[in-house]
Amino acid sequence: MKFNYQIIIEYLGQKFVGWQTQKNGISVQETIEKALTKTLKTKIKVIGSGRTDTGVNALGQSGNFYSNIEIKNTFKFLSTLNFYLTEHDISVLKLKRRELKFHSRHSAKKRQYEYIIINRCSKPTIDQNTSWWVKKKLDLKKMKKAASFFLGTHDFSALRSSSCVAKSPIRTISKAKLKKKADKIFITFESKSFLQTQVRSMVGCLKYVGENKWSVDKIKKILKSRSRRDCAPPAPAKGLFLKKISY
């Protein structure tokens, strides 16, 4: 009998070349597959909900795997699996049995990313590896207005990486929200799918607006231009988190 299991994964991305298995370094996918193979004592392949780039973190990455072994004790399974992941900055938070047709990537309805900026004069110590330190005071009101121009369906050619392999640059942003808590700015974007480096590029553009390097309306001009040359430099990967996948 064949079983299909979904796992929810948390990880820090600094040590990895990204989610997907690659020849040029250690990936999150490869590391989890090795741990699952040790835990279940059979070869396991994991299907991820989507790729995260080098250095990007996750609070709620979703994956699924097929196995001929029925997992009856979830606590024991997670304890053993996380034992093999201890040194890798990866934790598997949840396990759920799914129908065989469930697919972490194709079944996903929405993906939510969150970016964290620390906006203060002093360099962060605790959060230095999981946020973007911006020393200059940012105008949150202008950034919120600029973010609203990303909402809806647009051609995001100007905000995707030159190495992006997506067939279409058209994406629909259903949420673009900014909130500030103390000296942290949280930027949330939600869509069914994103282009490579799209979220970090959007954050980079918002930072330019917040620093008054750009006007708020510059965002509309960038989208219309469809040229990568008009985009601000992408925000660093370390401040980005794949927060949640909705099914």
Mean pLDDT in residue range 114-137: 97
Would you place residue 18 in the very low, low, confident or very high pLDDT band (cuts 50, 70, 90)?
Answer: confident
Higher-confidence position of 53 and 206: 206
pLDDT given at position 23: 81
Please report the DSSP string for 156-181 in residue order: -GGGS-TT---S--EEEEEEEEEEEE
**Domain co-membership, 225 together with 129:** yes
105 within domain boundaries: no
CATH number at residue 82: 3.30.70.580
Residues 23 and 133 grouped into a single domain: no
Q: Is 242 exposed, middle or buried (0-12, 13-18, 19+ CB in 10 A)?
A: buried
| Judgement on whether residues 92 and 191 belong to the same structural domain of the protein | no
The per-residue pLDDT for 163 is: 87
pLDDT > 90? residue 85: yes
Print the domain residue range for 213. 110-246
Among this protein's residues, is 53 annotated catalytic? Answer: yes
Count of domains for the chain: 2
- How does residue 20 score in pLDDT terms, banded at 50, 70 and 90? confident
Same-domain status, 114 and 94? no
Is residue 115 located within the same domain as residue 89? no
Query: Do both 69 and 140 map to the same domain?
Result: no
Domain identity same for 157 and 178: yes
- CATH of residue 208: 3.30.70.660
240 plus 208 within the same structural domain = yes
Residue-wise pLDDT tens digits, 35-70: 999 999 999 999 999 888 899 999 999 999 999 999
145-190 tens-digit pLDDT: 999 999 999 999 999 998 888 899 999 999 999 999 999 999 999 9
What is residue 162's predicted lDDT score, i.e. its pLDDT?
87
The last residue of one of the domains, among 31, 64, 98, is: 98
State the CB neighbour count (10 A cutoff) for residue 181: 8
Residue 104 domain flag: no
Which among 53, 127, 183, 230 is annotated as catalytic?
Answer: 53
Domain-located, residue 201: yes
pLDDT, residue 150, reads 98
